Amino acid sequence: MTTTPTAVGTHGAPRGAAGIRPAAPTGRRRRGPSASQWAAVGFAAPLLVYLVLFYAYPLWRNVDLSLHDYTIRAFVQGNAEFVGFENYAEVFASSTFPTALTNTVLFTVGSIVFQFAIGLALAVFFRSSFRLSGALRAMFLVPWLLPLIVSASTWAWMLNSDNGIVNSVLGAFGAEQINWLTSPDTALLSVTIANIWLGIPFNLVILYSGLQNIPGDVYEAASLDGAGAWRQFWSITFPLLRPVSLITILLGLIYTLKVVDVIWIMTTGGPGDASTTFAVWSYREAFGTGQPDFSPAAAVGNVLILVALVFGFLHLQLQRRQEDS
Amino acid sequence: MTTHRAWWKTALGLLFTAIMLFPVYWMVNVSLTRTGDLRSDPPHWFPWEPTFEGYTAVLDQQLPALGTSLLVGLGCVVLTVVIAAPAGYALGLLHLRGGRTLNFLLLVAQMIPAVVMAMGFYAIYNRLGLLNTVGGLIVADSTIAVPFGVLLFTAFMSGIPRELLQAARVDGAGAWRTFWSVVVPLSRNSTITVSLFAFLWAWSDFIFASTLNRNGDLIPITLGIYHYIGNNTTQWNAIMATAVVASVPAAILLVVAQRYVAAGVTAGAVKD
Amino acid sequence: MHHLTRSAPRRTIALAALTTLAAAGSLAACSSSDSPGTGASGGSDDTYTWWDPYPQHDESSDWTKRVQACGEEAGVTIERTAYDTTALTNQALLSAQEGTSPDVILLDNPAVSTLADTGMLTTVDEFGLDTSAIDQNLLDAGVVDGAAYGIPIGANTLSLYYNADVLKDAGVDPASVTDWDSLTAALKKVTDAGHKGITFAGIGTEEGSFQFLPWFWGSGADLTDLDSPEAVEALELWKGWLDEGYAPNSVIQNSQNTTWEEFLTGDFGFVENGTWQVNSAAEADFETGIVQLPAKDGGVAPAPTGGEFIVAPVQQDTERYETTRQIVECMTTPEGFVETANTFAYYIPPTADGQQALLDEKPELEPWVEAVQNAKGRTSDGLGTDYPIISEALWTAVQNALSGSATPADALKAAQADAESGTN
């Protein structure tokens, strides 16, 4: 499986990031552009229809919700008042906003850094196959199989202040009881840990496949030159994995920004607002109380999408810079 | 010397896996615990007085739901691959104009929160008559996997050696023939990877099933769990038992599929 | 099948387009099996749709059979869908928006005014239903602007269960728990004897408010005034228990189910929980009993009512109302109420006759009937749709105070400010 997303959306030959094939562009379109383009459109047609049908409408609906004042009465009757950017103004002025912003940044950065680092470390570890490596690698994907309500509840169980196994173990070493989920100081940390656990399989699979595409002879040459394992990692593995890493981190970012279930089940964003991120805030406005507040929820949701968009643009720029270099 | 290293690595691998899967062990532990012992302080490391009522409940009641989840998962895999593979071909090899924009749109598509998608789908499905159908759920679940699948296929297919494609063209193959006879066989690994992701995401989906498929005769396992969640009471050992039982077939699929995900593209090109 | 000609690309597009259309078409076609009728509303002529929040009762349960029986009596088949209670309100809103509301919904009583406010529910007067026999304190939860929008099918409420073995060991007489001071004293004795005192649910959801309300109301506070001195006293009671170690830290995160699991370990002396655990209490490893939740200075504290209302959404085809009315009436006869009570362990019937019939069958439920008679709807006193906003402010204050982020007084002051700005 290739790992060169530099090819994504480009018209030139992929750079030798994985060293698979010659760098010089040898592929030439044998037909005139139009015929090849028609073929391309034909192959992409199902996707295009699919995108318009299933993504455009919910997105438009969300924008619509955020620009009107949808009390639940208006939601049902369909006659909401247009209020422009008032919902957004309320969101930015709300007392929850700074807390949610800080929490989102901490949660996202914390999750991604550790998910990526641990995933990469494990991928490198599994790279050389040893006995049982295949089966063990498959076992790492088991967390993915579990419904989120189960995995999140299990973590909540384990981190319970009074009867959780984590405190029990810590207590055996003489540590004080930590109120993981009920103290404002540690609530965010707890959900981050659970989220890291959930994200490791994804990073492991992608990074591992990326590693598989780095030919072994590069490493052999390096060790012949006397480079140790650590040096090999920094000089060979890390640079060659850059495009894969970029896309993994970007996707990880997008997915982490959307995380609601884990936090909701473990702490419902609490205590108070201690573990509320934008996604949780949006969910809570819409579904967490007896009085659904769809418009502010949609506004927060759109802010989230905008943040993700910014990072998407960044990624695009980074990609372009890589291609031009 | 290699055997020496291998043993050491295997031991370390087992240790890492054990740490990673500890919560799963805990889940199994809870599934066998009596309700009265669930919150005992200090907690029991091992269910000394096990109860199998969770498992009996699951085996009595949840097997159809397991079947439905399997059906939805596999259906989602098929649909995802059918849409994403040709698109990957178009973007990666046929150099679709506006490909970069399309890729960006795919990224944006993945940014939409699931709840927003589910609410939008409710309206669409209501008009198309797809509520409470397995087919509708398959389509909804595929929206989680398709953008990612396109990304993966594009990346992989653009890495296929040009010589192979040129050879096909020299033989007079058109775009379709090239796709079907050359690209698809070479993409076996990426197909399996995309299938894996699509299956796993569909298997553990809750939000779409909850909004769109409540009353079908066939509900997936994630909804089946709610059978044990009453208004004010919850049967945790049954819920955990459901998760354990649900994990088994999927875990088997995983072990089988991992072998293919591992192999690199060079291996694929050389063999085929 | 695929010619190697230059016209292949166009053929490819055509093929792709056709495939997409075919796929979409077949999806729509294959969808015929289960979908309830779209378009108009409710179901077809002899299928009536019914939503309730009891997913734990499936097709083979007594509850479903009962529902079907009522349908048969009215001459129709009932198609029942169970949602978990948190999702039901939103599903109802979504379907109302689409014009596909079901014929009957059973939903948690505080949500009734929310739905009524959108105009998607019919009033009981429109239906010609007689509600004079229903206890007013129970009916009030569904009254908005003087009109009643549904009928309670039963009510449950909270009380204080105790572990008789633990109390005996600590030398506490349950009958001595009559007000807050005596309760706190009992907790002290229990913890001094090496056991745990009390557990309850302070989670940041409606359940947290539900469990806090008996103490809130028991101090004399009112929901329109969250930062009154009485309210602060109530919150300080809980905070005090936490600080003294009479209640565990996990109460901040506990749902009602979790508190019951904690109680079942046998370590705790008291638990605040509801009618629905009566059976589980009887099967516990130790002897249990209940005392009424005490008000601050004695007497029974008003506890909030749980339990669902049966409501009828507005339908485009008003002919359907006749049959719906029959179904509702079937569910709300005195015998019907007792059956519901037994199915749901234990909903207390909302009428005097129903309560008497239940007591004839099960005299041991006397304390629960008393508790329900003293109970209060959360959306009563004209709070209606203001209640959810006040409730959210209240549970946030509880969370902040118990976790130490704010003092009880400050937390409640912030809550009152939030509630006021939210309800204007």
What does the pLDDT look like over C388-402, one tens digit per residue? 889 999 999 999 999
Q: Which residues of C284-298 are buried (b: 16+ CB within 10 A; e: fewer)?
A: beeebebbbbbbbee
**Average pLDDT score over residue span A163-189:** 88
If pLDDT is split at 50, 70 and 90, which confidence band does C40 have?
very low
Q: Which residues of C are less than 8 Å from A76 in CB distance?
A: 93, 96-97, 118-120
| Domain of C195, in residue numbers | 158-303+383-423
Q: Which of A41, A50, A71, A291 to mutate to test the interface with C (most CBs of C within 10 A)?
A: A291
What percent of chain B is predicted at pLDDT more than 70? 91
List of residues 6+ apart from C359 with CB closer than 8 A = C365, C366, C369
Number of residues that make up chain C: 424
> What are the structural domain ranges in chain B?
58-266
Is the pLDDT at A196 greater than 60, yes or no? yes
Interface A:C, Cβ pairs < 8 A: 135
**Average pLDDT score over residue span B185-191:** 83
Supply the pLDDT for residue A142.
Answer: 84
- Average pLDDT of chain B is 81
Check if the beta carbon of residue C328 is closer than 8 Å to that of residue C51.
Answer: no
If pLDDT is split at 50, 70 and 90, which confidence band does C422 have?
confident
In this structure, of A5-14, A90-99, A226-235, C97-106, the range with the lowest mean pLDDT score is A5-14
Partner-chain contact B39 C262, CB within 8 Å? yes
Is the pLDDT at A264 greater than 80, yes or no? yes
Is the pLDDT at B269 greater than 70, yes or no? no
Rounded to whole angstroms, how far apart are CA atoms C371 and C302?
Answer: 8
- Judge whether A274 is closer than 8 Å to chain C, CB to CB: yes
List all residues of chain A from 230 to 289 with a beta carbon under 8 Å from chain B.
Answer: 247, 250-251, 254-255, 257-258, 260-261, 279, 282-283, 286-287
C352, C373, C394: which is the final residue of a domain?
C373
Rounded to whole angstroms, how far apart are CA atoms A231 and A225?
Answer: 11
Distances, alpha carbon A182 to alpha carbons A176, B40, B207, C35, C247, in Å: 15, 19, 26, 44, 14
Angle at C202 between CA C196 and CA C205, to 5 degrees: 155
Supply the pLDDT for residue C270.
Answer: 94
Supply the pLDDT for residue B172.
Answer: 81
Supply the pLDDT for residue B49.
Answer: 80
**C contact chains, 3+ CB pairs < 8 A:** A, B
Single-letter amino acid code for the residue at C387: Y
If pLDDT is split at 50, 70 and 90, which confidence band does C346 have?
low
List pLDDT tens digits, range B48-107.
Answer: 888 888 888 888 888 888 888 889 999 999 999 999 998 988 888 887 788 888 888 888
Check if the beta carbon of residue B15 is closer than 8 Å to that of residue B228.
Answer: no
Rounded to whole angstroms, how far apart are CA atoms C96 and C115?
Answer: 10
What percent of chain C is predicted at pLDDT more than 90? 40
Q: Is residue C88 part of a domain?
A: yes
Check if the beta carbon of residue B208 is closer than 8 Å to that of residue B128.
Answer: no
Highest mean pLDDT among A54-58, A285-289, C158-162: C158-162
Is the pLDDT at C4 greater than 50, yes or no? no
Partner-chain contact B102 A9, CB within 8 Å? yes
Is the pLDDT at A13 greater than 50, yes or no? no
Residues C327 and C240 in one domain: no
**Average pLDDT score over residue span A104-114:** 94
Q: Is residue C6 part of a domain?
A: no
A31, A49, A269: residue with CB nearest C204 = A269
Residues C139 and C264 in one domain: no
List all residues of chain B from 8 to 47 with a beta carbon under 8 Å from chain A.
Answer: 9-10, 12-14, 16-17, 20-21, 23-24, 26-27, 30, 39-43, 45
Interface A:B, Cβ pairs < 8 A: 336
Supply the pLDDT for residue B272.
Answer: 30
Supply the pLDDT for residue C344.
Answer: 74
Domain count, chain C: 2
Q: Which residues of B are less than 8 Å from A46 in CB distance?
A: 82-83, 86-87
If pLDDT is split at 50, 70 and 90, which confidence band does C11 have?
low
Rounded to whole angstroms, how far apart are CA atoms B145 and C128?
Answer: 52
Burial (CB count <10 Å: 0-12, 13-18, 19+), residue B170: exposed
Residues C286 and C164 in one domain: yes
Residues C227 and C147 in one domain: no
What percent of chain A is predicted at pLDDT more than 70? 89
**Average pLDDT score over residue span B43-52:** 83
DSSP per position, C202-257 = --SSHHHHHHHHHHHHHTT-BTTBTTSHHHHHHHHHHHHHHHHTSS-GGGGT--HH
Q: Is residue C378 part of a domain?
A: no
Q: Which residues of B are less than 8 Å from A54 in CB distance?
A: 117, 121, 124, 139-140, 143
List all residues of chain A from 162 to 221 with a beta carbon under 8 Å from chain B.
Answer: 162-165, 168, 171, 197, 200, 205, 208-209, 212-213, 215
Partner-chain contact C11 B227, CB within 8 Å? no
If pLDDT is split at 50, 70 and 90, which confidence band does C170 have?
very high
Supply the pLDDT for residue C213.
Answer: 95
Supply the pLDDT for residue A198.
Answer: 93
Residues C124 and C20 in one domain: yes
- Judge whether A161 is closer than 8 Å to chain C, CB to CB: yes
Q: Is residue C329 part of a domain?
A: yes
Q: Which residues of B are less than 8 Å from C5 in CB distance?
A: 174
Supply the pLDDT for residue A33.
Answer: 54
Q: Is residue C119 part of a domain?
A: yes
Partner-chain contact A136 B83, CB within 8 Å? no
Q: Which residues of A304-317 are buried (b: 16+ CB within 10 A; e: fewer)?
A: bbebbeebbeebbe
Supply the pLDDT for residue A11.
Answer: 33
Better pLDDT: C32 or B23 = B23
Residues C144 and C67 in one domain: yes
Q: Which residues of C383-411 are buried (b: 16+ CB within 10 A; e: fewer)?
A: bbbbbbbbbbbbbbbbbbbbbbbbebbeb
List of residues 6+ apart from A280 with CB closer than 8 A = A100, A260, A263, A264, A269
Residues C281 and C415 in one domain: yes
Residues C336 and C202 in one domain: no
In this structure, of A11-15, A94-98, B84-88, C187-191, the range with the lowest mean pLDDT score is A11-15
Rounded to whole angstroms, how far apart are CA atoms C28 and B200?
Answer: 25
Is the pLDDT at C360 greater than 80, yes or no? yes
If pLDDT is split at 50, 70 and 90, which confidence band does B260 have?
low
If pLDDT is split at 50, 70 and 90, which confidence band does B231 have?
low
Angle at B40 between CA B36 and CA B45, to 5 degrees: 110
List pLDDT tens digits, range C238-292.
Answer: 999 999 999 999 899 888 999 999 999 999 999 999 988 888 888 888 999 999 9
Check if the beta carbon of residue B134 is closer than 8 Å to that of residue B68.
Answer: yes
Better pLDDT: B5 or C335 = C335
CATH label of the domain that carries residue C388? 3.40.190.10
Q: How many Cα atoms occupy the beta-carbon half-sphere of A151 within 13 Å?
A: 24
**Average pLDDT score over residue span A211-215:** 78
C158-163/C288-291 β-pairing: antiparallel
Partner-chain contact A46 C20, CB within 8 Å? yes
Phi, psi of C313 (to 5 degrees): -70, 155
**Average pLDDT score over residue span A39-62:** 85
- Average pLDDT of chain C is 84
Q: Is residue C42 part of a domain?
A: yes
Q: Is residue C4 part of a domain?
A: no
Supply the pLDDT for residue C210.
Answer: 94
Locate tokens 């003294």: which residue?
C244
Rounded to whole angstroms, how far apart are CA atoms A181 and A155?
Answer: 10
C353, C373, C393: which is the final residue of a domain?
C373
- Judge whether C282 is closer than 8 Å to chain B, CB to CB: no
**Average pLDDT score over residue span B250-259:** 75
- Judge whether B167 is closer than 8 Å to chain A, CB to CB: no
Q: CATH homologous superfamily for B58-266?
A: MetI-like (1.10.3720.10)
Q: Looking at chain C, which residue has its C-alpha nearest residue B43?
A: C265
What percent of chain A is predicted at pLDDT more than 90? 17
Distances, alpha carbon C2 to alpha carbons B95, B270, C5, in Å: 22, 27, 9
The structure tokens listed for C151 are: 């009928």
Is the pLDDT at C313 greater than 80, yes or no? yes
Q: Is residue C3 part of a domain?
A: no
- Average pLDDT of chain A is 81
Is the pLDDT at C3 greater than 80, yes or no? no
List pLDDT tens digits, range C203-215.
Answer: 888 889 999 999 9
In this structure, of B121-135, C216-230, C389-403, the range with the lowest mean pLDDT score is B121-135
Residues C144 and C230 in one domain: no
C288-291/C77-82 β-pairing: unpaired
Angle at A233 between CA A229 and CA A235, to 5 degrees: 115
Supply the pLDDT for residue B212.
Answer: 83
- Judge whether B61 is closer than 8 Å to chain A, CB to CB: no
Supply the pLDDT for residue C36.
Answer: 37
Residues C323 and C338 in one domain: yes
**A contact chains, 3+ CB pairs < 8 A:** B, C
Q: Which residues of A are less than 8 Å from B66 in CB distance?
A: none
If pLDDT is split at 50, 70 and 90, which confidence band does C44 have?
low
If pLDDT is split at 50, 70 and 90, which confidence band does C228 have?
very high
**Average pLDDT score over residue span A5-30:** 38
- Judge whether C284 is closer than 8 Å to chain B, CB to CB: yes
Angle, helices A57-67/B114-128, rounded to nearest 10 degrees = 110
**B contact chains, 3+ CB pairs < 8 A:** A, C
Distances, alpha carbon C175 to alpha carbons A34, C157, C167, C178, C218, in Å: 90, 20, 11, 7, 18
Is the pLDDT at A320 greater than 90, yes or no? no
Is the pLDDT at A271 greater than 90, yes or no? no
Cis peptide before A271 (omega within 30 of 0): yes
**Average pLDDT score over residue span B214-230:** 78
Is the pLDDT at A129 greater than 90, yes or no? no
Residues C258 and C389 in one domain: yes
pTM: 0.82
If pLDDT is split at 50, 70 and 90, which confidence band does A325 have?
low
List pLDDT tens digits, range A149-165.
Answer: 888 989 998 998 888 88
List all residues of chain B from 210 to 269 with a beta carbon under 8 Å from chain A.
Answer: 221-222, 225, 236, 239-240, 242-243, 246-247, 250-251, 254-255, 257-259, 261-266
**Average pLDDT score over residue span A203-227:** 82
Locate tokens 């919904």: which residue?
C105
CA–CA min distance C109, chain B (Å): 13
**Average pLDDT score over residue span A70-86:** 84
Residues C203 and C181 in one domain: yes
Check if the beta carbon of residue B120 is closer than 8 Å to that of residue A63.
Answer: no
A1, A126, A131: residue with CB nearest B156 = A1
In this structure, of A296-305, B87-96, C194-203, the range with the lowest mean pLDDT score is B87-96
